């Protein structure tokens, strides 16, 4: 079931990347981009924590927010 949720969430992000992001232009202040960060966070941490990490990252992506290299944190054992 978790794999299905992961697939749906990643599909939605990829749809955004292909259909919506080109209309908005390259605005992300971070590397990897917020959408790629969200995909990686979902793959590493699962759908719930990964989505939460993606939302927090998008909230930091504004002119007065952070910028630069910001990798997905590793999964704690």
Domain extent at residue 48:
2-68
The total domain count for the chain is 1
Closest CA to 41 of 66, 4, 75: 75
Q: What is the pTM of this model?
A: 0.89
In a domain, 75, yes or no: no
CB 12 within 8 A of CB 51: no
Q: Classify the C-alpha dihedral 55-58-62-66 as positive or negative.
A: positive
In a domain, 10, yes or no: yes
Neighbouring-strand partners of residue 68: 30
Distance (Å, whole) CA 37 – CA 45: 12
User: How confident is the model over 20-70, as pLDDT tens digits?
Assistant: 988 888 778 889 999 999 999 999 999 999 999 999 999 988 888 888 898
């Amino acid at each position: 079931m978790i794999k299905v949720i992961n697939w749906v969430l990643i599909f939605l992000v990829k749809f955004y990347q292909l259909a919506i992001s080109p209309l908005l232009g390259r605005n992300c202040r971070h590397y990897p981009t917020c959408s790629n960060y969200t995909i990686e966070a979902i793959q590493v941490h699962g759908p719930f924590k990964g989505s939460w990490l993606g939302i927090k990252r998008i909230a930091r992506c504004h002119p007065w927010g952070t910028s630069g290299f910001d990798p997905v944190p590793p999964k704690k054992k």
